[in-house]
Amino acid sequence: MKNRKFILLAAMLLTIGMILAACGGGSGEENTDGDNGSGSEDNTANEETSDFSSAMVTDVGGVDDKSFNQSAWEGLNAWGDEHGLSKGEGFDYAQSNDKSDYLPNLTRLVKQDYNLIFGIGYKLHDAIAKVAGQYPETNFAIVDDVVEESNVASLTFKEQQGSFLVGVAAAMKTKTNKVGFVGGVDGALINKFESGFIAGVKSVDPEIDVDVQYAESFAAPDKGKLIASNMYGNDVDVIYHSSGATGNGVFAQAKDIKQNDPEREIWVIGVDRDQYEEGQIGDHNVTLTSMVKRVDIAVQDVSNRAMTDDFPGGEVLAYGLEDGGVSAAKTNEEALTDEIVTAIEDWKEKIINGDVEVPQTREETDAFVEAL
């Protein structure tokens, strides 16, 4: 009987000891490892941050259009690299081959739980507006247009300013006093490129002719090549294109001509990205300069802001010369003389200071030229 009581007592004491040890261990861990406790909370916060994801829907030019969409994709890649993410694991894109793809692509990315989704180009306006209303908990951003929804950031650029500078370069480089502009789709956006370019050309020499033609597509390199062929055949020696993948045809035609006649001075002005590499043909390069539009910087900037709970929903952001949102590339040092570079910098300063108000429409351009 005594043995039985002893065994029961020992078992009770053992149980109580284990409970006290457990409590003591918990208390000791909390007291001695307080920093680890807060560190654990930080880890949770980091995990939540790393869970943030961003994606984009291209316009029809494709993610490798060497222009607008590609610049946006490069920005998203840079953002992913910055945070240790990879394609499909934190960021991705959906390819649009036709405008009918916009809405399904956006909806699919929403259902894949992307926190921020970009629509690359003004053509996605209606689709972005629709999904933004349907999915108010998801943040969206549109490039080159304005969607008035509280969960949409509108990313715009002062393309006319950068186009003015490359217009100055074209005017100072032409030997024939004939330059050209090839646009994608004729509308308010591309008219900003056209208007700024003409204003820049005419500011240097009002007598220079500017041939303006539109391909009515951002994805028709064959048509771009044909337009360029006609322009170059009519003594135009510098063409500025603002036409997405259509501009690939402009470059192809210029390189064909240069290959057949290496002594002929013939130039292309690129758009959106620095398209210097697109102009390489043997020992020559036909890219005079490019109107660089930092869609990549805008995409990376807005992704970072959204990631840190500073998403500019409902805001219209405008990137221009003053903040490096647009610029004229100076990569082709052989083609851009010191005189041209100096002129570009002088006009840039005048625009930033407000001494020159660059036109954005054809009506404003007519008035601008008349006042010269």
- Digit-coded pLDDT (tens) for 119-165: 999 999 999 999 999 999 999 999 999 999 999 999 999 999 999 99
Bridge partner residues of 268 (DSSP): 239, 287
Domain extent listing, the chain? 50-157, 159-292+337-370
Bridge partner residues of 92 (DSSP): 55
Residue range 50-157, CATH number = 3.40.50.2300
| Predicted confidence (pLDDT) at residue 210 exceeds the cutoff of 70 | yes
Q: Specify the pairing of strand 280-281 against strand 284-285.
A: antiparallel
Mean pLDDT lowest for which of 50-54, 174-178, 307-311, 351-355? 50-54
Assess contact for 199 and 167: CB atoms under 8 A: yes
Bridge partner residues of 326 (DSSP): 293
Domain 159-292+337-370: CATH architecture, name and number where available: 3-Layer(aba) Sandwich (3.40)
pLDDT tens per residue across span 318-369 = 999 999 999 999 999 999 999 999 999 999 999 999 999 999 999 999 999 9
Cα separation, 215 vs 226, in Å, equals: 10
Q: What are 363's two structure tokens?
A: 């009506």
User: In 116-240, which residue ranges form alpha helices assigned H by DSSP?
Assistant: 125-134, 159-173, 188-204, 221-233
CATH topology identical between 50-157 and 159-292+337-370:
yes
This prediction has a pTM of: 0.81
| Predicted confidence (pLDDT) at residue 3 exceeds the cutoff of 90 | no
CA atoms within 13 A on the CB side of 335: 26
Assess contact for 245 and 217: CB atoms under 8 A: no
Phi-psi region of 217 (alpha: psi -120 to 50; beta: other; left: phi over 0): beta
CA atoms within 13 A on the CB side of 111: 7
